[in-house]
């Protein structure tokens, strides 16, 4: 049997629209071997998701697969060929499976798919158990009871605690990470040979992403499953993939093993992608963004499609359209395989390094090195011509891509800080709190007490403690990073600082004046010195206003630059790397990165001193993100701006910030200089966050600090240290007398029981968790009892017993740690290990 599981040859998927034919996938070829993880990467619009869906024939109208072959083992999933009329229906191979055959024999049973958004993939009106059991019942010859039992086991395998009980829960009762685990359980429900994962970790926090990646690697090894992993995150690619296909404008421009792709790159687009990514493991002096934006797929550029943005483009690139060929450093690798009758034969492996670039020796006949380099004027001309073709086809979204589109990366200043540590703070926050009423009206607040006598009813309020006693300073010209998982209070804190929502209590002193005490009129006068850049560049711009009107609006509101607002707006557009002629364009005519630059220009229009940036690059591709980050740094150097930069991407935080504050469940748990924090984190939560970041280098390994469970509810936060319910470094109860090694093994065992790990009920469980024997005394007796309960299926009782013995007596559970700077530490940290 061949090792090749999936073969894709010359696949073309087009979308026929009134504006023209969008060539979303335009002639891609690749193979997936058994047990292999193939990554497909590229910017938004490259065709990654369309390619993944085409494999399973999940293309909706007006999309149509017009040519190509997709073969899964011996089954022809796609076999179509263009007819003489390019707009006519393609001819189908009679061997191709029908829609019914694919539905009944392939989808779910042999090939499964994990989609990006679990909320949209799960039906909200059915329980998780019903949906999972249905998939198993449809694709496996089992009874309803057997399907339910398999479903429970799959939920347990993907790490959902109390799996049997949670079968009756609805999707909205699960966190985002748990919903993604449910989708993975569904994908593996029928033990498929191939799983197609379309950006499955994009919307997840870095800690949850790390858990999902570890889970997928474990399941893939257990079931010998192959993956097609679609992503834009090169860190994820480096961690999970064996080979990588890089897509640009519907084509695969490079394909190689993951190590070759990162360390022996052959295509300029791949080089540019890797050069635009900040690294979590070291400082990068300046990111190298890809100039311009990807052209439209309606009328792609002639010749090499990347030549309009390529720094190495020459005259030959305008005319020759390179295919993906074996290039230097790659070779056709042969291997011996065995056929069904036992005969040995030699088969060409899918491992050669291929690239579609004329610079490589495989394209000597194209005359690349003999042709003339394209100078800046020619590059701009070619780029403008390509965009004009797209505009004539009815798409106004593509902008001119010239030198003004992105600041020169070489001009970007290094990230060395010039902040004066002895200066007075520009912003000083003390004991800031913001609570939200969690009650739904008066009746929801009523409480009944049968022992209360004549007045058994009372009204009680519950509050979401979004921000709960936060204190910090920001110095002039500094960038303070604020990080933490979703729901920790970052965005609420940002809005409270600018009084977009009023604080419950606390002080917000800006340049010596307490904003918390100002009236609305007084606050409006001060607000021009403080501006906000929101996360979604599209949602934060009025689609009915031109960008010129958008930039002028704050000036008009504060009575600034009367008589010269248009000139000021045009000047600001150029300052942020756009063209002054874009003044009369509307937001939909810009890319995501360009829209975020408009937001920056708007924020700068009133000459602010302080800008709050709430996830300003999270919705952007890595290449566009690099442009925006470089622009922000240049603006800070030019205007002396002070930033509060909020992000869940710690690689970005390391690149742009001077100091970093870590937030958990409404509180700050650590605040330190950026380099000190990344090189030597002290709080267990900070260590977990940093260890979860995938590094964009397959030669760099990381050891993830495990976190159990989800962030608790801010309505009823845990007693003591709020992180203790998930902490891997819980302080041992003194009365148990456990040594450090014994306590480490006990903690590991407790986490395994809480996750209902199958290892706990295996025959060698004692040797797995306690190789040197059970602890002495009461601790050992408790462990023995917990093992017995787990073996009987009483997981909840086992977890409760362990919690009562090992967790509740800990100082972390009973006492609140102070946020202080202990002797000898270069930071402030809130942890009992340093109290």
* Mean pLDDT, rounded, for 492-505: 95
Domain ranges across the chain: 734-809
The average confidence (pLDDT) of the chain is 86
pLDDT tens profile 67-76 = 999 999 999 9
Burial of 105 (0-12, 13-18, 19+ CB in 10 A): middle
Among 236, 212, 205, which Cα is nearest to 664's?
Answer: 205
pLDDT (tens digit per residue) in 322-339: 999 998 654 444 434 343
Mean pLDDT to the nearest integer, 610-625: 85
Per-residue confidence (pLDDT) for residue 590, from 0 to 100? 83
User: For residue 209, which of 688, 647, 677, 685 has the smallest C-alpha distance?
Assistant: 688
CB 651 within 8 A of CB 618: no
Using DSSP's 3-state secondary structure scheme, residue 799 falls into: helix
Is 660 a residue whose pLDDT tops 90?
yes
Q: What is the mean pLDDT of residues 721-744?
A: 91
Residue 71: which of 111, 40, 22 has the closest Cα? 111
Residue 76 phi, psi dihedral angles, 5° rounding: -90, 100
Query: Alpha helix (H) ranges present in 514-621?
Result: 520-526, 547-557, 565-575, 592-604
- pLDDT of 509 > 90? The answer is yes
In the prediction, which pLDDT does 431 show?
A: 96
pLDDT of residue 457: 61
* C-alpha neighbours within 13 Å on the C-beta side of residue 226: 20
Does residue 390 carry a pLDDT above 50?
A: no
Region of poorest pLDDT, from 327-331, 510-514, 527-531, 829-833: 327-331
Neighbours of 113 (CB within 10 A): 23
Residue 377's pLDDT is 38
pLDDT band with cut points at 50, 70 and 90 for residue 237 = very high
Tokens of 588: 């939909």
Residue range 56-71: average pLDDT? 93
Cβ neighbours of residue 477 closer than 8 Å, sequence gap 6 or more = 418, 419, 420, 636, 640, 641, 642
Over residues 207-228, the pLDDT tens digits come to 888 888 888 888 888 889 999 9
Say whether 752 sits in a helix, a strand or coil: helix
Tens digits of residue pLDDT in 184-203? 999 998 889 999 999 888 77
Q: Is the pLDDT of residue 671 over 50?
A: yes
What's the pLDDT score for residue 450?
Answer: 65
Q: Is residue 86 over pLDDT 70?
A: no
Tokens of 705: 């600090």
Mean pLDDT of 49-59: 94
Percent of the chain with pLDDT over 90: 58
Q: Are 646 and 652 in contact (CB under 8 A)?
A: no
Phi, psi of 153 (to 5 degrees): -65, -40
Structure confidence by residue, pLDDT tens digits, 273-320: 999 989 888 887 778 888 877 888 898 999 999 999 999 999 999 999
Q: Which DSSP string corresponds to 704-719?
A: PPP--S-PPPSSSPPS
């Amino acid at each position: 049997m061949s090792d090749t599981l999936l073969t894709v040859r010359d696949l073309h998927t087009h979308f026929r629209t009134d504006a023209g034919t969008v060539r979303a996938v335009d002639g891609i070829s690749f193979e997936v071997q058994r047990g292999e993880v193939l990554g497909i990467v590229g910017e938004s619009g490259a065709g990654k998701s369309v390619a993944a869906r085409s494999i399973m024939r999940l293309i909706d109208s007006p999309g149509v697969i017009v040519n190509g072959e997709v073969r899964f083992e011996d089954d022809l999933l796609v076999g179509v060929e263009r007819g003489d009329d390019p707009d006519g229906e393609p001819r189908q191979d009679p061997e191709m499976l029908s829609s019914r055959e694919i539905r009944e024999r392939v989808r779910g049973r042999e090939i499964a798919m994990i989609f990006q958004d679990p909320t949209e993939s799960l039906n909200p009106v059915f329980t998780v158990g019903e949906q999972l059991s249905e998939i198993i019942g449809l694709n496996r010859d089992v009874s309803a009871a057997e399907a339910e039992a398999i479903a429970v086991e799959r939920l347990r395998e993907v790490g959902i605690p109390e799996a049997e009980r949670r079968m009756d829960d609805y999707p909205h009762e699960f966190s985002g990470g748990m919903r993604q685990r449910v989708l993975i359980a569904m994908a593996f429900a029928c033990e498929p040979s191939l799983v197609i994962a379309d950006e499955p970790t994009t919307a997840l926090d870095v800690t949850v992403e790390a858990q999902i990646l570890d889970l997928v690697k474990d399941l893939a090894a257990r079931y010998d499953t192959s993956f097609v992993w679609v992503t834009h995150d090169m860190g994820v690619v480096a961690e999970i993939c064996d080979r990588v296909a890089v897509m640009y404008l519907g084509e695969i421009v490079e394909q190689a093993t993951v190590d070759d792709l990162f360390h022996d790159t052959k295509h300029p687009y791949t080089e540019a992608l890797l050069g635009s990514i900040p690294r979590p493991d070291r400082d990068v002096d300046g990111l190298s963004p890809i100039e311009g934006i990807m052209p439209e797929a309606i009328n792609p550029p002639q010749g090499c499609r990347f030549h309009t943005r390529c720094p190495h483009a020459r005259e030959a690139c305008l005319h020759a359209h390179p295919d993906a060929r074996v290039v230097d450093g790659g070779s056709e690798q042969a291997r011996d395989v065995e056929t069904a009758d036992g005969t040995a034969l030699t088969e060409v492996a899918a491992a050669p390094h291929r690239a579609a670039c004329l610079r490589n020796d495989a394209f000597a006949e194209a005359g690349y090195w003999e042709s003339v380099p394209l100078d800046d004027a020619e590059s701009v001309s070619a780029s403008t011509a390509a965009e004009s073709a797209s505009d004539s086809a009815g798409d106004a979204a593509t902008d001119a891509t010239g030198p003004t589109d992105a600041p020169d990366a070489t001009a970007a200043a290094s990230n060395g800080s010039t902040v004066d540590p002895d200066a007075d703070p520009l912003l000083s926050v003390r004991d800031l709190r913001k609570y939200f009423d969690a009650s739904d009206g008066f009746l929801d607040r009523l409480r009944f007490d049968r022992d209360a006598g004549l007045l058994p009813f009372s009204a009680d309020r519950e509050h979401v403690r979004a921000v709960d006693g936060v204190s910090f300073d920001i110095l002039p010209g500094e960038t303070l990073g604020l990080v933490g998982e979703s729901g920790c209070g970052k965005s609420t804190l940002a809005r409270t600082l600018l009084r977009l929502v009023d604080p419950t209590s606390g002080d917000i002193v800006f340049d010596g004046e307490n904003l918390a005490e100002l009236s609305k009129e007084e606050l409006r006068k001060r607000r021009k010195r403080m501006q906000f850049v929101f996360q979604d560049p599209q949602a934060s711009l009025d689609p009915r206003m031109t960008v010129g009107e958008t930039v002028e609006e704050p000036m008009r509101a504060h009575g600034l630059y009367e008589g010269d607002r248009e000139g000021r707006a045009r000047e600001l557009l150029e300052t942020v790397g756009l063209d002054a002629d874009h003044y009369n364009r509307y937001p939909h005519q810009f890319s995501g990165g360009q829209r975020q630059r408009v937001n920056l220009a708007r924020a700068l229009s009133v000459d602010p001193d302080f800008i709050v940036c709430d996830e300003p690059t999270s919705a952007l591709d890595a290449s566009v993100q690099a442009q925006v980050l470089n622009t922000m740094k240049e603006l800070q150097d030019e205007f002396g701006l002070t930033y509060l930069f909020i992000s869940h991407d710690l690689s970005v935080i390391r690149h742009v910030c001077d100091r970093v504050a870590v937030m958990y469940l409404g509180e700050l748990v650590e605040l330190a200089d950026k380099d000190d924090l990344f090189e030597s984190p002290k709080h267990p939560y900070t260590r977990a966050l940093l260890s979860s970041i995938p590094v964009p280098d397959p030669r760099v390994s990381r050891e993830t600090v495990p976190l159990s469970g989800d962030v608790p509810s801010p309505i009823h936060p845990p007693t003591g240290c709020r992180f203790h319910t998930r902490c891997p470094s819980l302080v041992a109860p003194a009365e148990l007398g456990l040594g450090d090694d014994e306590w480490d093994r006990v903690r590991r065992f407790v986490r395994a029981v809480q996750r209902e790990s199958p290892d706990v009920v295996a025959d060698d469980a004692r040797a797995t968790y306690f190789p040197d024997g059970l602890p002495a005394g009461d601790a050992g007796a408790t462990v023995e009892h917990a093992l017995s309960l787990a073996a009987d299926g009483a997981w909840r009782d086992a977890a409760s017993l362990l919690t009562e013995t090992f967790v509740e007596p800990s100082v972390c559970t009973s006492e609140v740690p102070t946020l202080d700077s202990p002797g000898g530490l270069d930071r402030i940290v809130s942890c009992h290990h340093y109290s």
